[in-house]
């Protein structure tokens, strides 16, 4: 959504924005049935970093725990207790739609690609961690973040991270386009075959 605002909606005229708002007010509110309360109403400040600070990290990075990953990659900006810093333009991770929604795709994408918005006065940007964190690490970290700062029943899975890293699930439109193209090829082939047969027939029936 942030990308839509950044690259598109902020360029709309006031009249268009008002028209969209007027239309939206006429459609009934919808929400994901799995969301049991407003997505920005979850979580609170939380820290269990004291137990990991000063301790040796595991030999393999894949074995790093949620608090270790959070401490190493997120806490400098979002702070040890996830409270962020409004003065510094750093959002808290609790009461945050990306951590409170039962669908965790936005959270995974924020970790993989970061959040880079332009032209809204802020020079602060979140870097992406796709190059540094493995699918397993993003999963461990994502689950730590939803567990403590967001909706604890919202889960991140390794398969989900792998799919999103590769660009997301294939769109139904792609499947429909493939089936349509295949159907057109079959129909064209049938027509060519039928025409070929019709052309050959007069030869067979020609008088000797």
**Which positions ≥6 away from 104 have C-beta within 8 Å?**
142, 146, 154, 155, 156, 160
Instruction: Tell me the closest approach of the beta carbon of residue 188 to ligand HEC, in angstroms.
Output: 46
Q: Closest by alpha carbon to 116, among 106, 108, 128?
A: 128
Instruction: Tell me the closest approach of the beta carbon of residue 63 to ligand HEC, in angstroms.
Output: 17
Where does this chain bind ligand HEC (CB under 6 A)? Answer: 2, 73-74, 76-78, 89-91, 93, 96, 98-99, 106-107, 110-111, 115, 117, 122, 124-127, 129, 141, 145
* Beta carbon nearer to ligand HEC, 9 or 182: 9
* Beta carbon nearer to ligand HEC, 42 or 129: 129
Instruction: Tell me the closest approach of the beta carbon of residue 182 to ligand HEC, in angstroms.
Output: 38
Residues 91 and 55: their CA atoms lie apart, in Å, by 28
Residues 122 and 12: their CA atoms lie apart, in Å, by 20
* Beta carbon nearer to ligand HEC, 51 or 127: 127
* Beta carbon nearer to ligand HEC, 85 or 180: 85
Tokens read off for 141: 């970290």
């Amino acid at each position: 959504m942030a990308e839509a605002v950044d690259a598109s909606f902020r360029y709309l005229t006031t009249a268009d924005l008002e028209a969209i708002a007027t239309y939206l007010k006429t459609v009934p509110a919808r929400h994901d049935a799995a969301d049991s309360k407003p997505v920005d109403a979850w979580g609170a400040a939380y820290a269990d970093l004291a137990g990991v600070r000063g301790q040796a990290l595991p030999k393999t990075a894949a074995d790093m725990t949620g608090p270790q990953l959070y401490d190493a990659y997120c806490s400098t900006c979002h702070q040890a207790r996830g409270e962020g810093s409004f003065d510094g333009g750093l959002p808290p991770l609790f009461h945050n739609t990306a951590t409170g929604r039962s669908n965790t795709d936005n959270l995974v994408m924020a970790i993989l690609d970061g959040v880079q918005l332009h032209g809204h006065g802020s020079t602060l940007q979140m870097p992406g961690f796709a190059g540094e964190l493995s699918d397993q690490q993003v999963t461990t970290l994502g689950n730590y973040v939803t567990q403590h700062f967001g909706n604890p029943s919202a889960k991140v899975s390794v398969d989900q991270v792998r799919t999103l890293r590769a660009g997301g699930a294939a769109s139904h439109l792609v499947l429909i386009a493939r089936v349509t193209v295949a159907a057109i090829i079959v129909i064209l082939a049938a027509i060519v075959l039928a025409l070929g047969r019709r052309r050959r027939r007069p030869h067979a029936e020609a008088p000797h």
